[in-house]
Amino acid sequence: MKKVIWSALSAAEQQAVLLRPAMAASESITDTVAHIIEQVTTEGDAALKKLSAQFDKVELNDIRLSSQAMKEACDSIPAPLKTALREAFRNIRSFHAAQVSRPLSVETQPGVVCEMHSRAIEAVGLYIPGGSAPLPSTVLMLGVPSEIAGCKRRVLVSPPPIAPEIVFAASLCGIDEIYQVGGAQAVAALAFGTESVPKVDKIFGPGNSFVTEAKRQVSQAIGGASIDMPAGPSEVMVIADARANADFIAADLLSQAEHGPDSQVVVVTPSDKLADEVNQALTRQVAKLSRADIAEKALENSIAIVCQDMAEAVVISNIYGPEHLIVQTKNPRQYLNDIQHAGSVFLGDWTPESVGDYASGTNHVLPTYGYVRTYSSLSLMDFCKRFTVQELSADGLSGLAPVVTAIADAEGLDAHANAVHVRTQALEGSK
Amino acid sequence: MKKVIWSALSAAEQQAVLLRPAMAASESITDTVAHIIEQVTTEGDAALKKLSAQFDKVELNDIRLSSQAMKEACDSIPAPLKTALREAFRNIRSFHAAQVSRPLSVETQPGVVCEMHSRAIEAVGLYIPGGSAPLPSTVLMLGVPSEIAGCKRRVLVSPPPIAPEIVFAASLCGIDEIYQVGGAQAVAALAFGTESVPKVDKIFGPGNSFVTEAKRQVSQAIGGASIDMPAGPSEVMVIADARANADFIAADLLSQAEHGPDSQVVVVTPSDKLADEVNQALTRQVAKLSRADIAEKALENSIAIVCQDMAEAVVISNIYGPEHLIVQTKNPRQYLNDIQHAGSVFLGDWTPESVGDYASGTNHVLPTYGYVRTYSSLSLMDFCKRFTVQELSADGLSGLAPVVTAIADAEGLDAHANAVHVRTQALEGSK
């Protein structure tokens, strides 16, 4: 891990230190994905089977997982893991259920009532990555809020063969519609539908660069689907005071680093000594990891920034805008009001990132790559949409009429004024 | 206005009746906009001046409006219009202030606290269209929620020359940073910044097809800006029972039709007689409008659908998903629970669309073109982003540790488990 002294850097060097690696989809990925989407929209299920054989080396008979296969998968899960997933489910459910918004109603002036109502998004697609390790936690992060929202149709897709842990987590969330298809072809199927896979309104979940690019493309296509948020490599920033535990910090950095070689890992502290201790702890800990290769690769781009004081650490954190921000200081809550840009914040020595990844109750689908400046942590709201309602009484309209007609006149929109006039004339006529 | 009997149509014909006209940006618009964005990012202010001379036929000296020019513009507004805009401002403020969310805090299990916090988006760009009529109402719809959210920097852009009504509405909202630049070049300036125009995080507001395409392109560019929502032609659907007033309905349809020749206008009613009366009322009313040409053009694509009963009218409305939905029936509120997809709903005989366009308090920036299925009416939330916070006590971590490590083991992520282990070991060591 490279160490820099913040105050010794020029403004340009400071900017460079916090710069994320470029992340434009290569032209070859863009084209490959466009071609996959075209195949799926024209050939449907046949394309899904062909592409699964090509990319996942799996010959699919049934794209949808049968209820028998689901039952067998669930039965195969060891009891302790079932218990753990149930407890994680319960915490995630408890935090997301508290996000239910009540309808809003305001009488803005006599007889003029304005309201806001929420509705579940009707059909949602939940993408769960496959690969080296199954991610049942991601199933919970998408399955729980979609259940609470009341989405009528929830369609889970994941590359074949689907791990039993994923099926069990889905069953906890009441999801019974699972398709064994992954990659850009799964995203295309969700966005446009095939004979087997239903078209959905919005697609959620993380994936590799093909999945990310496919989500981007279908979100831009007329008749495609909305998506949860733009994606980028995962990140953690730890800000820590001199009394922080170097072993804890190193462990947190590594839990991010093991996700992938492109993971971004940064520690910011006013203590030069702590920065060195973290470096030593990293060396000790990384050797013992089963994914040491991946973590070591990520650590090559990682950085320790030594700053003046904790106030400056918060400033640096706000410039960077990390997906995960861990605050290991004596009174971590004192900095909360100053934290402007982060995906999820972990306060204090006893709150490692992994609790939020799995089981504290917060959602682990978070904006990354600086998108925290405008995007939010995934929440119940992302599975709903809101619309306004207004209802005026006859008196309410009479009271508001002069305002509406004056502005309509200023905007030169006669018919807008006339929609009020025909009504006020009718009211006068009926008097 | 064309009339169809819903039950007499085949499923394919029903679908065709509700189909919106294709809205893919032409290749020439895409290329023109890409070229404009490139000019602005490379040449900055010089490009803005050149493009304003080219498209708006205005030679700009200062891109930013001076405080003297703002004062003069405000002074020039007639008192009655000032009063009307102030009253609209007050209602819009009242409804949007009620949308402020309180921080959420849930103890999901003992010693495990999860929270959600909201922060204003730091810098926002507000695009106000110019053209045939100034739109001070749009200034209020973007200016009020951005003020309540507490966005630090609010940058308003509008094509030169900027109408005094727009400046006055901006001043009501406390906006003092106004730039005389419009079109794709204004969007590019907001997304990437120039010498004069600051880069913003998110761009809001309606515009012509060049503005819409520019917003789309910058929202897809790394280092660009987020946008409020995808845009399409404006729409209204009226659902009405036999007792509804044909003149009211015709006036509402025309207030949508006068927006532009691509406006979508639909009425759905179980009463064949009412459908004919609306048609006659349209003919009577349209002739008197100053924008009769535009409205007549829009009416060419408009349609009256005669259905079985009001329940079917609601079903048809949900299939279409109108931006504006006006319900003119005896007990309009009885249908509210069944309305799934709409941007804003207007209940009853005394609630024309124009009250929501200007002054009831709701926002008139709404998803259109079917985007209501996943997008929401613009609200305070769009000017904020939310992040989660978690804080565990030592006991809280001990309680949650088995859950986290069991899932980490199942996912094969050692370092995730280790971040918990190093802490529980430290706790045991200190006992």
CB atoms within 10 A of CB A197: 26
> Is residue A66 in a domain?
yes
Q: What is the DSSP string of B111-141?
A: TEEEEEEEEE-SEEEEE---SSS--HHHHHH
pLDDT(A16) > 90: yes
Look-up of token digits 């919005």: A202
Structural domain that includes position B403: 393-429
What does each C-alpha distance from A302 to A236, A242, A266, A272, B295 come to in angstroms?
10, 20, 6, 16, 61
Q: Which residues contact A33 (CB under 8 A, 6 or more apart)?
A: A25, A184, A210, A213, A214, A217
pLDDT tens digits along A288-343: 999 899 999 999 989 999 999 999 999 999 999 999 999 999 999 999 999 999 99
Among chain A residues, CA nearest to B319: A122
**Is residue B170 included in any domain, yes or no?**
yes
- The annotation places the binding site of B for substrate at 234, 256, 259, 324, 357, 411, 416
Which pair of structure tokens corresponds to residue A72?
A: 């067998």
Which of A385, A395, A425 has the most B C-beta neighbours within 10 Å, making it the best mutation to test the interface with B?
A: A385
What ipTM, to 2 d.p.? Answer: 0.96
The residues near A71 (Cβ < 8 Å, ≥ 6 apart) are none
At residue B154, what are phi and psi to the nearest 5 degrees?
A: -125, 120
Q: What pLDDT sits at residue B429?
A: 87
Same-domain pairing of A400 and A349:
no
Tell whether B275 and B331 lie within a shared domain: yes
- Are residues B53 and B184 both part of a single domain? yes
**Residue A103 CB partners (closer than 8 Å, separation 6+):** A115, A116, A117, A118
Question: Residues A343, A300: one domain?
Answer: yes
Contacts of B373 in chain A (CB under 8 A): 121-122, 201, 385
- Domain assignment present for residue A85? The answer is yes
pLDDT at site A25: 64
Chain A residue with the nearest C-alpha to that of B101: A101
User: Which SS3 state, helix, strand or coil, does residue B96 take?
Assistant: helix
Domain end among B165, B199, B227: B227
Q: Are strands B178-179 and A324-328 parallel, antiparallel or unpaired?
A: unpaired
In a domain, B99, yes or no: yes
Residue B260 pLDDT: 87
Q: Identify whether A213 is part of a domain.
A: yes
Q: Let me know if residue B413 belongs to a domain.
A: yes
User: Is A217 in the same domain as A263?
Assistant: no
- pLDDT tens sequence across A220-234: 998 999 999 998 899
For chain B, how are helix, strand and coil distributed in percent, rounded to 5?
A: 50, 15, 35
With beta carbons under 8 A apart, name residues in chain A contacting B201.
373-374
Separation in Å, CA B396 to CA A80, A348, A349, A364, B248: 20, 12, 12, 19, 62
**Nearest Cβ partner of A374 from B226, B391, B406?**
B226
Are B268 and B125 in a shared domain? no
pLDDT tens, residue order, chain B (431 aa): 999 999 999 999 999 999 998 776 688 999 999 999 999 999 999 999 999 999 999 998 899 999 999 999 999 999 999 999 999 999 999 999 999 998 899 999 999 999 999 999 999 999 999 876 788 999 999 999 999 999 999 999 999 999 999 999 999 999 999 999 999 999 999 999 999 999 999 999 999 999 999 999 999 998 999 999 998 899 999 999 999 999 999 999 999 999 888 889 999 999 999 999 999 999 999 999 998 999 999 999 899 999 999 999 999 999 999 999 999 999 999 999 999 999 999 999 999 999 999 999 999 999 999 999 999 999 999 999 999 999 999 999 999 999 999 999 999 999 999 999 999 999 998 87
Whole-number Å distance between alpha carbons of A318 and B424: 30
Mean pLDDT for all residues in chain A: 96
C-alpha dihedral sign at B53, B23, A232, A214:
negative
User: Within 10 A of B309 (CB to CB), how many other CB atoms are there?
Assistant: 10
Which one of A227, A243, A270 terminates a domain? A227
Q: Which of B22, B201, B377 sits opposite A373 (nearest CB)?
A: B201
Same structural domain, B189 and B299: no
* CA–CA dist A232, A250 (Å, integer): 23
| Chain B contact set for A350 (CB, 8 A) | 392-394, 396-397, 423
What's the pLDDT band for A26 if we cut at 50, 70, 90?
Answer: confident
Residue type, A129: P
From the CB of residue B265, how many other CB atoms can be counted at a distance below 10 Å? Answer: 27
Residue A377 marked ligand-binding: no
Looking at residue B369, which CATH number applies to its domain? Answer: 3.40.50.1980
Helix (H) or strand (E) holding A45: helix A45-51
Residue A116 lies in a domain: no
| Interchain pair A418, B333: CB under 8 A | no
Asked which of A204, A227, A250 is the last residue of a domain, the reply is: A227
Residues A91, A306: Cα–Cα separation, whole Å: 36
Nearest Cα to Cα of residue A155 among A183, A130, A180, A120: A180
- Cβ–Cβ gap A91/B112 under 8 Å: yes
Residue ranges in A303-429 assigned as alpha helix (H): 310-320, 353-358, 394-411, 414-429
Burial B130-163 (b: 16+ CB within 10 A, else e): beeebbbbbbbbbbbbbbbbebeebbbbbbbebb
- A326 and A423 part of one domain: no
Known catalytic residues of A?
323-324
The closest alpha carbon to A388, from B270, B87, B378, belongs to B378
**Same domain? A15 vs A43:** no
Min Cα–Cα distance to chain A from B318, Å: 11
Number of domains in chain A: 3
Among residues B168, B153, B152, B156, which one has the least CA distance to residue B73?
B168
- With respect to residue B194, please indicate whether it lies within any of the assigned structural domains: yes
A223 and A258 in a single domain? The answer is: no
User: Are A136 and B106 inside 8 Å of each other by CB?
Assistant: no
Beta bridge partners of A116: A104, A388
Same domain for B223 and B281, yes or no, is no
Residues A63 and A199 in one domain: yes
With CA atoms as reference, the chain B residue closest to A152 would be B340
